[in-house]
Amino acid sequence: DTEVTQTPKHLVMGMTNKKSLKCEQHMGHRAMYWYKQKAKKPPELMFVYSYEKLSINESVPSRFSPECPNSSLLNLHLHALQPEDSALYLCASSTRQFVEKLFFGSGTQLSVL
């Protein structure tokens, strides 16, 4: 199994809603990442978990809250988002932090109304 699975594929939410994005991998990878990609822009790193501990937070606003319940799962909890947060949210994993190539999921396309 060489897949990173993200759910949902599409999400529309209002600015007062609370929602969660989910990511799962069964490759035994010990590093997991959240990236944000706006249209026609490169992916930008948000968070990195290494061995289930948050190792990097790229100054992301607190309305985004990551969680890594175990080595296979990564969540991104969303609360009180702004319309400018609308983007493609990509999850990725690697055997360990940053040394190996990244395996990306297909992303969640988020629209904040």
Partner 1 sequence: DQQVKQNSPSLSVQEGRISILNCDYTNSMFDYFLWYKKYPAEGPTFLISISSIKDKNEDGRFTVFLNKSAKHLSLHIVPSQPGDSAVYFCAASGNYGQNFVFGPGTRLSVLP
Should residue 103 be labelled a site residue for partner 1 when binding is judged by CB under 8 A?
Answer: yes
By CB under 8 A, residue 5 contacts partner 1: no
Nearest distance from residue 110's CB to partner 1, in Å? 14
Shortest CB 44 distance to partner 1, Å: 8
Candidates 43, 49, 81, 93; binder of partner 1 (CB under 8 A) is 43
Output b/e per residue, 9-45; b: 16+ Cβ within 10 A: eebebeeeeebebbbbbeeebebbbbbbeeeeeebeb
CB-based contacts of 21, cutoff 8 Å, min separation 6: 6, 7, 8, 11, 75, 76, 78, 89, 91, 108, 110
Interface with partner 1, residue 39, by CB under 8 A: no
Write each residue from 62 to 81 as x if it is in contact with partner 1 (CB under 8 A), else as -, in one continuous string.
--------------------
